[in-house]
Chains A and B, each alone.
Chain A
Amino acid sequence: MIKTIIRRMLILIPQMIVLSLALFLMADAMPGDAIWGLAGPEASPEEVAALIEAHGLDGPWYQQYISWVSNIIRGDFGRSLFHGRPVVDIINIRIRNTMWLSLFSTIFTLVIAIPFGIIAARYVGKWQDRSILMYCFISSAVPAIALAILSIWIFALILNWFPMGGTVDVLISPAETFRILLSRLHHVMLPSLVLAVVGNFGTIYTLRAQIVDNSASAYVVTAKSKGVPTRTIYYKHIMRNSLIPFAQGLPFLIIGLVTGSIMIERIFSFHGMGDLFLSSIQVRDWPVVNAIAMFYGFLTIIGILSGDIILTLVDPRIKIK
């Protein structure tokens, strides 16, 4: 068992190599350079050449790649061409914000999806089920952008329940930690709600289908024939078996929330990784772009891996090769 987990993790390495190579080559092919942005239009060719050398941007591509990878392993993602500071510093805060957003999106997703899935399964065919399915349908069809914009307009602008954007109220001094925390909470509510609503139809649908299927299975009849009370059958047999595929999908869900937040962050002016990604691309700050892309890729791979691991832990029928 441990062996298989380790083996799966080892596959991570070639996948990451492929990913990093692809990213690196793409970055290398990009036109335009943030160097010019740093140096300014007045800089002389010598100054620019010096900058290029300082950032290690001369030399053949494979040399650059090797040095880049060796730096990364040491935790050095290079310097941002635009900001001049180490990439790690810049990304740090942003990662925290995005994680904050993902945390609440996940909470909201679960809080909405699990009860909805259970209720829909419990009242299959009746109005509760049909309205939940309709909700699923509409929330899956509506593009996240439209929902985000509409919710800003209605809930922030018109009703004034939430701020229109931003991560935190900049007018509060950093020393007042409690007020800062409240403000951060306030700011993250709407974006994470939107993210949750847009993404939860899959969970609701699968959970509902699982419960419905399992309720009709033969082992439920067997349990009934033993005189097991209905409530116990529901929890011990039906719900337990239904939550298995759900547990497996959980990491994937979370990862999806992280990577899908790019657009939401931009619309809400939320200072997370996604927002930074977009800004960096616009100014051609490739070290930052690469670092973020690597991070997302890494997260996705980890997500898939954890999903598989959870499944093997929880479902005794799965035997990994």
Chain B
Amino acid sequence: MDIETPNVGDVKIISLRKIFIREIFADKLALVSLFVFVGIMLFVFIGAAVIGVDQALAFDIFNLNQAPTWWPFGNGGSPTGGFLGTTPSGQSMAQILIVAARNSIIIGFSVSFLSLTTSILLGLVIGYYGGHIDNVAMRIMDTLVIIPTIMVMIIVRTLMLDFGVFHMVMILYMFSWIGPARGIRNLTMGQKVQDYVAASKTLGTRNIAIIFKKILPNLTAMISAMVVLTVGTSIGIETGLAVIGFGLPVGTPSLGNLVANALNPTHMSQRQWNWLPAVILILIIIISINFVGQAMSRAANAQQRLSS
């Protein structure tokens, strides 16, 4: 017989992917940002490969300090200035910018992946086992939080005489894992008390399996959001260190180094092409990363709410 009972609570079970896609597409800003960022990445990586780092860095004494061809200020553009002008060493700013962007993005992603790997391992273990391990770990992290990280990074940077991209990544990695580790620990603790964990335990599943096969998949959304956001913050910190003089050496271009050119009064007042493109590019990159990352973390929150 026809009984008109409505859906129980009207809750539909929605898959994670659908939530993700819905959040990112609904947030048009995030969508545009995603395209922008991916576009920049592709352009920069392919461009750097095509141009060749050495060629970009090659000095050209005949073309020092040329303004870009379209430059409207001062004496106007120089015919040999190219798209973005030339540096005091005659290098093409456009080419350097591409290489620099590539380096910064590599740094950002490397730091992010390294940090998140550490954070995931630590966060899961600490959160799951709790007890003494948690107490000790929290004390340590509390003490680490007190340390002014910028200062330590600066000091460590001074210690290292041979400094390259790898070292920069290490320095940034030193502190980037703490925040996400804490976050993952909190999330794990939230998951630990859920029924499915108790169910797995009664079935006799080993702890390691529970952690990695059951809890971790539930956290992928949040973790992905963290990964994306960490890329952004890493690039930001690298820029900061470079500007105060503690970044990559001049031979290794990075967006931070280029932005640091702004501290030079001549560059600031007359030769803006040395730093302005880098500043704009950094803004675009970081803001688009953040739009995407925020959308992802909203999606992750939505998933947490629906599933628990």
Is A bound to B? yes
Interface positions of A (Cβ within 8 A of B): 15, 18-19, 22, 26, 29-31, 137-138, 140-146, 149-150, 152-153, 157, 164, 259-260, 262-263, 266-267, 277-278, 281-282, 284, 289, 293, 296-297, 300-301, 304
Given A26-B155, A138-B287, decide whether A143 and B282 contact each other with a Cβ distance below 8 A.
Answer: yes
Cα A15 to Cα B287 with chains together (Å) = 38
Q: Determine which of B143, B147, B158, B283 lies in contact with A142 in the assembled complex, contact meaning CB atoms within 8 Å.
A: B283
Q: Contact between A304 and B146 (Cβ–Cβ < 8 Å)?
A: yes
Chain B residues with CB below 8 A from A293, complex form: 148, 151
Q: Contact between B143 and A18 (Cβ–Cβ < 8 Å)?
A: yes
Cα A29 to Cα B155 with chains together (Å) = 11
Q: Chain B: interface secondary structure? A: helix
Q: Contact between B159 and A29 (Cβ–Cβ < 8 Å)?
A: yes
**3 nearest interchain CB pairs?**
A143-B236, A141-B290, A149-B262
Closest to A278 in B: B244
Q: How far is the CB of B142 from chain A (nearest CB, A)?
A: 9
Q: How far is the CB of B258 from chain A (nearest CB, A)?
A: 11
Chain A residues with CB below 8 A from B272, complex form: 153
Given A145-B259, A149-B279, decide whether A259 and B294 contact each other with a Cβ distance below 8 A.
Answer: no
Chain A residues with CB below 8 A from B268, complex form: 152-153, 157, 164
Q: B263 within 8 Å of A by Cβ?
A: yes
Chain B residues with CB below 8 A from A141, complex form: 232, 286-287, 289-290
Q: B266 within 8 Å of A by Cβ?
A: no
Cα A50 to Cα B237 with chains together (Å) = 42
| Residues of B134-153 whose CB lies within 8 A of A | 143, 146-148, 150-151
Chain B residues with CB below 8 A from A157, complex form: 268-269
Q: How far is the CB of A13 from chain B (nearest CB, A)?
A: 14
Given A31-B159, A145-B259, A149-B262, decide whether A137 and B239 contact each other with a Cβ distance below 8 A.
Answer: no
Classify chain B: how many residues form its interface, as a range: 35 or more
Chain A residues with CB below 8 A from B287, complex form: 138, 141-142
Q: Contact between B245 and A143 (Cβ–Cβ < 8 Å)?
A: no
Q: B277 within 8 Å of A by Cβ?
A: no
Cα A100 to Cα B275 with chains together (Å) = 30
Q: B130 within 8 Å of A by Cβ?
A: no
Closest to A303 in B: B146
Chain A residues with CB below 8 A from B232, complex form: 141
Cα A284 to Cα B158 with chains together (Å) = 9
Q: Determine which of A19, A278, A300, A304 lies in contact with B154 in the assembled complex, contact meaning CB atoms within 8 Å.
A: A278
Q: Contact between A297 and B286 (Cβ–Cβ < 8 Å)?
A: no
Q: B77 within 8 Å of A by Cβ?
A: no
Q: Determine which of B150, B244, B269, B286 lies in contact with A143 in the assembled complex, contact meaning CB atoms within 8 Å.
A: B286
Chain A residues with CB below 8 A from B286, complex form: 141-143
Chain B residues with CB below 8 A from A296, complex form: 148, 151
Inter-chain pairs besides A263-B150, A263-B243, A281-B155, 12 sampled, C-beta below 8 Å: A18-B143, A19-B146, A142-B287, A146-B279, A266-B243, A281-B154, A281-B158, A282-B245, A284-B158, A289-B155, A300-B146, A301-B146
Closest to A277 in B: B151
Cα A278 to Cα B245 with chains together (Å) = 9
Q: Contact between B146 and A144 (Cβ–Cβ < 8 Å)?
A: no
13 sample A-B contacts, Cβ–Cβ < 8 Å, listed by A number: A15-B146, A30-B158, A137-B291, A142-B283, A146-B259, A146-B279, A146-B283, A152-B268, A277-B154, A278-B246, A281-B155, A293-B151, A300-B148
Closest to B160 in A: A31
| Residues of B37-65 whose CB lies within 8 A of A | none
Cα A272 to Cα B175 with chains together (Å) = 25
Q: How far is the CB of A255 from chain B (nearest CB, A)?
A: 10
Given A263-B150, A278-B244, A293-B151, decide whether A150 and B279 contact each other with a Cβ distance below 8 A.
Answer: yes
